[in-house]
A and B are shown apart, each in its own frame.
Chain A
């Protein structure tokens, strides 16, 4: 297979490259098509793409006050959510950006348009408003080059479950938490600010929101590292750890632990497909063996027999709903249930951006159904015409089956998720995707 970038078929990388050269509307439409065609899939690429396109909306769409900006963002967001309703992260990112705008706007109103004051919390980003677009491109390059630990140190232990961050703004800010003036924001979102400013204020707001979105992007790119930081605490020497179709997050987590600890990894793999029977997670296995870790591949069917010996089950989440239910790759729910029966701990790894305030009453609407050809060959004529084939891509793990959630902010219990949600999302944005706007 040639590398993806050499081909013509579109993907996330090509989409991001095309952003600059295209009019905004074309970019939005092309992202919608990519989402619908599932050419951008998986929670992280979706989140990245959403953040990028919203940044474009903020930077390039026409808006003259906060309200119109909010409308622009939520309108775009709604289109994206409709394009791929099963990816909850898209809605999450949109809500984060909406919350960000509200925060910045209320802060500016509070500061009476004092530009210098609004710049204060982000001292590293003092740029004239005119250079805004220049700025975000260079910054994006920075973040792509490395995890940029200097600019954005990992969230320190003070952001633990005991002491959750007080506001979105401070969570994202690079500066240490400011003192007293944090608390006013806490409930400021309850009323939409009726902020109207002159052009300089709009410029200021724009650059601040753009900075905020850049930080969201950085957060997404650093999530894996930050989650991996707690690997040593979770995995003990001699443990038998079961992972299910490890995502990159899970792989990083295990590899980090492997640097210090000796343990055994069981990889639950999907039933072999016709072409990739050998190749599943090959590089991951290789890396683990290099680190001296014993790796055992187990087919899903044989898993239950091992479960009594397993100490920990680690599952990478695609999304977490408000109730604590976890949307994960198909097959994970059965593993989680088996683990529960055997009293094995189930640990879910997820970036905070995957935590959704939504809690659909209809669980089946969360499940994504995929291509029938995953397990059955289309060349098998009698089976194609004689059987109805359904392939679930995702499953919902019931909240009571999960013991621990590990996010980039630390380790949480289920009860704590609701406060995480209220920290990250404004209540009025929770249902942005079903609003029908009054104006055209």
Chain B
């Protein structure tokens, strides 16, 4: 199913020393596994044609930084997994100084690992385990990593820990990013590490994103109770995903066949099951030096800026790390390679300019990186942009914060706005101005030439069309990876929850759309439940509690909306969810109350017929066979105290919708408000609630907690008075009976 090495020379060369290494117990030989494919598509449209690790970062292919880092740290044996576009990577390496046949290769082994039908990092590492290529400590790095860290200290510490106990299997290299906003921190997905202050043992890992419904991290109580007396929860770390591993790490990957991602799945899972597997993972947090991964275009942008700012020293253009580069530093921090030319009146600042590139008179190049062989016309403005090799930009064009790939031709007087991505060989005619960021390519997402050229947008000479990735549609709206697919990080188009410690998680979802006049409750619901489901990747922790609520409400609502039919399956699903999440009675009650309240609110809404509140309440509660029974058993399920709680939950749910409806128009507000007495009456009629329950609620202080709650309660006065009277009548009856 898989085969070793590309050419016989490299594999033959590769086998010998690694065997020798095994005999000497691999102590002296440092090995590294490079994952040059990350199984992500955050660099589209560029990666349709070129592998990510060959994309130029400051005019040097990304893989060079990784290999330099390994060479710098004295790594001897390197195994590279390429994945997509393997041939291109192997061809590039084969012609570079890293080629095993070339004398300048600092590695004794450089071998390509091909894994057939690998679909995730996990598949690759499981395959590595089967082949047992690595036999000692090894570095696991990605092919898009830039770092100048010297790992000697971390390696020595790792080795010492490993000698103390075989359970200490891995050390992660992290870099402190400070508490404030930092361009090199990953946007969209924030990694959270819980690290013991003294031993540096990593106790918990989680990821957070702004799209999730809550911003909580739930820790295993055992962390505080048993594992650590002093620990830090750090969300500030920059994770370049450099790991020092023992071969046991690969074995662990093999044990867990469903792990895909090294952090989200593997690290999280191993740390969570610490009791089960008994393995320990440590985090080495660096304050100095530099380490980051160009894992998406935003990080590409950030790391390019860091290179211009010399943070990645010595890996900066001026040092000409790659042979044949010949950059020289000039004033204004402009790095110009020999052979490049620019008009004397061109303004250059804080930029990198490759060889054979010419820049016309009056042009401004600021904070930009221009590759080799480009022709920049006169009066061009290029700001914060990346122009790769062989591209032509016509006179008077303005480009801001965009990426122009190889051999792009931009006509005269064009305007390319912030965030544009223009892929290989795209031609844009003269005088084209995009109003918003454009993503253009000459190929489709499957790598075929585009057939329908968009001449309206790009002018008559064009050969390209806006790039469209069908896989994007398959992603959920709230998948955080969406946030990482553009050059510019923006949350403008997303409904964000403002997490609060409110009683109902659903508050959050619709609060933020409240100002959005179009949004109705239904869409807010749907978005909310999606979001919550995704917010926790391992269903039973972190946001698990919240997600139970949302999932349960969603499931019940679906059943209720079906209007007729049996409620048993919904009940079964609900109980299943409850077991899976270990939900408490209070949570179940809340979920049931919310679901029914919401259904009732829907029914009074004009677009669903605008039923009378009493009708709506009846329909919501009785339309489905088995629903009253369900409410009775699951939602209330007990004596007076439970009934009080259920009414309270119902009141809270309704008060939320009441607030919302009131904001829209007075009439529907009033309707929503009368839903509470209507529902209470209905529940009373169904014998689910008893007088004691409702009256107990009436007297409960929590029922008047807030204006809306008090308002709702007030609507029930008539009902309560009626109930009190009925009670008296009952008493009278009793008296009568007694007297008889």
A385 in contact with B305 (CB, 8 Å): yes
CB distance from A60 to the nearest CB of B (A): 13
B726 at the interface (CB under 8 A from A): no
Residue of B314, B315, B318 most packed against chain A (CB within 10 A): B314
Question: Does B314 lie within 8 Å of A38, measured CB to CB?
Answer: yes
Contact between A37 and B150, CB atoms less than 8 A apart: no
What 0/1 pattern do residues 318 to 339 of A give for CB contact below 8 A with B? 0000000000000000000000
Question: In the bound complex, do residue B74 and residue A10 qualify as a contact, i.e. CB atoms below 8 Å apart?
Answer: yes
Residue of chain B at shortest CB distance from A24: B103
* Interface 0/1 of A121-147, CB less than 8 Å to B: 000000000000000000000000000
Among B74, B103, B181, B326, contact of A25 (Cβ-Cβ < 8 Å): B103
What chain B residues lie within 8 Å of A2 (beta carbons)? 152-153, 156
Cβ of B189 < 8 Å from any Cβ of A? no
Evaluate contact between B311 and A373: CB separation under 8 angstroms: yes
A382 to B184: give the CA distance in the assembly, Å: 11
Q: Which of A33, A38, A388 contacts B71 (CB 8 A)?
A: A33
- Which residues on B sit within 8 Å (CB–CB) of A7? 74, 150-153, 155-156
B638 within 8 A of A: no
Interface size on A, residues (CB 8 A): 41
Partner of A384, one of B150, B182, B320, B321: B182
Tell me whether B103 and A29 are in contact (CB under 8 A). Answer: yes
A-B contact count (CB 8 A): 134
* Interface presence of A238 (CB below 8 A): no
Q: For the complex, is B176 an interface residue (Cβ under 8 Å from A)? A: yes
Measured CA separation A384–B326 after assembly (Å): 27
Q: In the bound complex, do residue A8 and residue B152 qualify as a contact, i.e. CB atoms below 8 Å apart?
A: yes
Please name all residues of chain A whose beta carbon is closer than 8 Å to the beta carbon of B30 when the two chains form the complex. Answer: 8
Say yes or no: A373 contacts B183, CB within 8 Å: no
Say yes or no: A36 contacts B320, CB within 8 Å.
Answer: yes
Q: What separation, in Å, do the CA atoms of A390 and B551 have in the docked complex?
A: 54
**Interface 1/0s, chain A 376-407, versus B by CB < 8 A?**
01111110110011110000000000000000
List chain B residues, Cβ under 8 A from A369: 310, 318, 329
Contact call B329/A382, Cβ cutoff below 8 A: no
Inter-subunit contact B180/A377 (CB<8 Å) = no
- In the complex, what residue of chain A is closest to B156 when comparing beta carbons? A2
Are A390 and B314 within 8 A (Cβ)?
no
Interface size on B, residues (CB 8 A): 51
A274 touches B287 (CB 8 A): yes
Q: Write the chain A residue with the least CB distance to B329.
A: A369
Check A26 against B104 for contact (C-beta < 8 Å). yes
- Do B155 and A8 have beta carbons less than 8 Å apart? yes
Residues B150 and A9 in contact, CB atoms below 8 Å apart: yes
**Interchain CA distance A380-B236 in the complex, whole Å:** 11
**Is the Cβ of A381 less than 8 Å from the Cβ of B177?**
yes
Q: Are B311 and A372 in contact (CB under 8 A)?
A: yes
> What separation, in Å, do the CA atoms of A373 and B178 have in the docked complex?
14
In whole angstroms, what is the CA distance A30 to B107 when docked?
11
Chain B residues numbered 113-156 whose CB sits less than 8 Å from any CB in chain A: 148, 150-153, 155-156
Chain A, range 184-211, C-beta contacts under 8 Å to B: none
> What sequence of 0s and 1s flags, for each residue 8-35 of chain A, a beta carbon within 8 Å of any chain B beta carbon?
1110001000000001011001100100
B564 within 8 A of A: no
Contact mask for chain A residues 250-291; partner B; CB cutoff 8 A; 1 contact, 0 none: 000000000000000000000000110000000000000000
| Contact A82 B320, beta carbon cutoff 8 Å | yes
Asked if B533 CB lies within 8 Å of chain A CBs, one says: no
Residues of A contacting B181 with CB < 8 Å? 381-382
Residue of B74, B103, B177, B329 near A26 (CB, 8 A) is B103
B333 within 8 A of partner (CB): yes
**Which of A9, A25, A377, A389 gathers the greatest number of chain B CB atoms within 10 Å?**
A9
**Of the residues B177, B185, B321, B350, contact of A37 by C-beta under 8 Å:** B321
Residue of B nearest to A10 (CB): B74
**B residues in contact with A29, CB < 8 Å:** 97, 103-104, 106
CB-nearest residue of chain B to A2: B156
How far, in whole Å, are A370 and B181 apart by their CA atoms in the complex? 25
Q: Are A371 and B178 in contact (CB under 8 A)?
A: no
Contacts of A275 in B (CB 8 A): 287-288
Chain B residues within 8 Å of A381, by CB: 177-178, 180-183, 185
Tell me, yes or no, whether A151 is within 8 Å of chain B by CB. Answer: no
Instruction: State A388–B182 Cα separation when bound (angstroms).
Output: 15
Which residues of A sit under 8 angstroms from B333, Cβ to Cβ? 388, 390
**Cβ contacts under 8 Å, B105 to chain A:** 26
Q: Which residue of B lies closest to A372 (CB)?
A: B310
B328's closest neighbor in chain A, by CB? Answer: A365
Q: Chain A nearest CB: distance from B592 CB in Å?
A: 46
Q: Point out the residues of chain B lying under 8 angstroms from A82, CB to CB.
A: 320, 326
- Contact between A39 and B72, CB atoms less than 8 A apart: yes
A372 and B313 contacting across the interface, CB-CB below 8 Å: yes
* Residue contact A379 to B68, C-beta cutoff 8 Å: no
Residue B73 interfacial (CB < 8 Å): yes
Partner of A370, one of B176, B290, B313, B331: B313
Residue of B152, B183, B287, B318 with most partner-chain A CB within 10 A: B152
**Residue in B75, B97, B153, B310 whose beta carbon sits within 8 Å of that of A389 in the complex:** B310
Residues of chain A within 8 A of B309, CB atoms compared:
372, 384, 388-389
Q: Mark A53-73, 1 if CB is under 8 A from B, else 0.
A: 000000000000000000000
A to B CB contacts below 8 Å, 11 in the list: A23-B103, A26-B103, A39-B72, A373-B289, A378-B175, A378-B289, A378-B311, A379-B177, A379-B178, A381-B183, A384-B311
Residues of B within 8 A of A (CB): 30, 68, 71-75, 97, 103-106, 148, 150-153, 155-156, 175-178, 180-185, 236, 287-290, 305-306, 309-311, 313-315, 318-321, 326, 329, 331, 333, 350
Ranked 6 nearest A-B pairs via Cβ = A7-B152, A381-B182, A8-B74, A379-B178, A29-B104, A371-B313
Tell me the A residues contacting B by CB distance below 8 Å.
1-2, 4, 6-10, 14, 23, 25-26, 29-30, 33, 36-39, 82-83, 274-275, 364, 369-373, 377-382, 384-385, 388-391
